[in-house]
Amino acid sequence: MGRGSYKASDWSKLKNSRNLGNAANEKEIFLRNSCDPRFDPKFIQFREARDSEDHPESMPIIIGLDVTGSMGYLAEKVAKEALNETMMKLYSTNAVKDPALLFAAYGDFRDSSPLQVTQFESDIRIAEQLLDLYLENCGQGDVALSLLWHFAGSHTELDNYRKRKKKGFLFTIGDAAECREGDLRQTYERVFGETVTENIPTILNRAKEKFEIFHLFLDHNREKAQNIVDYLPGHTMAITPGEVDAIPEILISTMQMVASGMTIPECLRQWPELKRPVVEKALRDLKLVDKKKGLVF
């Protein structure tokens, strides 16, 4: 997957055809009332991010959205604005070469569909598949992050990793809810149709072999989700729900800091002044080491 290129004109056509105007709400945007089998991990052996003539150095990027009951506005925001902004700014800044995006929707481990995953794509199919996700809007406080980590580590085939030994990026975005721990064997069996006996640190370490992994809290009260902070030391950020407009700039800046060693001031200079304080606040949460320069950002 991942052929073609993302074009603003294609986005405009899709936006008009799906009535994605400012007045559209979550229920008008996401029409499904059950998980599309195309995105059900039980029926997916691998998601592939392959090199192609269009994209000879594919860079896999996973963006996981919390779709529990409190977070429906996030998917709505991404569908109407943030996805298009992220793609256009990825290309305009040349933050990474040949991006291929996969969207994941993760919920509560008790949900009927606690994880959904699209294909890795580089064109308007990114948005088309995002709009076909199912927003279950349930959840009781324990998010299923480890399901996505398991999928990223065990169910992806990436030329970026296989050929070039380079990592992609995995971002999860949600409010301050705990990552479900304990015995999850039955949940893995139900979601993936396979037996998984490993603990979360082992699952996460496998995913870290292929991806730089970050979590963006839409809530400053991170002590409510301390285990996510502990699992991803130096790789968590926080903004308020009212600051979600800056998500594209935060994600792209993070990639630039990791991929090319850009400093925070260098990242900020490329963004509008009104967004810089929010982006800076998020980036200052990170503790990243530049392997070439030996610097901690």
* 111-153 residue pLDDT tens: 899 999 999 999 999 999 998 999 887 665 678 899 999 999 9
296 found inside a domain: no
Tell me how far the alpha carbon of residue 264 is from its chain's centroid.
Answer: 21
Contacts of 136 (CB under 8 A, 6+ apart): 67, 68, 107, 111, 112, 113
Domains held by the chain: number? 1
Lowest mean pLDDT among 67-71, 117-121, 225-229: 67-71
DSSP letter for 108, please: B
133 found inside a domain: yes
Q: Half-sphere exposure of residue 91, counting CA atoms within 13 Å on the CB side?
A: 14
| pLDDT bucket at 221, cuts 50 / 70 / 90 | low
Lowest mean pLDDT among 39-53, 75-89, 247-261: 75-89
Rg of the chain taking only CA atoms, in angstroms: 18
Is the pLDDT at 292 greater than 60? The verdict is: no
Q: What is the pLDDT of residue 218?
A: 87
Q: What is the pLDDT of residue 294?
A: 53
Q: Where are the beta strands (DSSP E) in the chain?
A: 47-49, 59-66, 99-106, 115-117, 142-143, 156-158, 168-174, 178-179, 211-217, 236-238
282 found inside a domain: no
How large is the angle between the packed helices 145-154 and 185-192, nearest 10 degrees? 60
Q: What is the pLDDT of residue 76?
A: 82
Strand partners, 237: 216
160 found inside a domain: yes
Q: Which domain holds residue 78?
A: 8-256
The rounded distance, in Å, linking the Cα atoms of 264 and 253 is: 8
Q: What's the mean pLDDT in 66-89? A: 83
pLDDT per residue over 255-283, tens digit each? 999 999 999 999 999 999 999 999 999 99
Is the pLDDT at 3 greater than 70? The verdict is: no
60 found inside a domain: yes
The rounded distance, in Å, linking the Cα atoms of 218 and 240 is: 5
Is the pLDDT at 1 greater than 70? The verdict is: no
DSSP string covering 160-187: HHHTT---EEEEEEE-S-EEP-S--HHH
CB 169 within 8 A of CB 175: no
How high is the mean pLDDT of the chain?
88
pLDDT per residue over 163-219, tens digit each? 999 999 999 998 767 787 777 888 899 999 999 989 999 999 999 999 999 999 987
CATH of the domain at 40: 3.40.50.410
Is the pLDDT at 296 greater than 60? The verdict is: no
| pLDDT bucket at 293, cuts 50 / 70 / 90 | low
Closest CA to 92 of 31, 8, 32: 8
CB 67 within 8 A of CB 177: no
- Choose between 29 and 206: higher pLDDT: 206
Q: Say if strands 236-238 and 211-217 run parallel, antiparallel, or are unpaired.
A: parallel
CB 116 within 8 A of CB 105: yes
The rounded distance, in Å, linking the Cα atoms of 207 and 211 is: 6
Of the chain, the percentage scoring pLDDT greater than 90 comes to 55
Instruction: Break the chain down into helix, strand, coil percent, rounded to 5.
Output: 45, 15, 40
The rounded distance, in Å, linking the Cα atoms of 257 and 233 is: 17
220 found inside a domain: yes
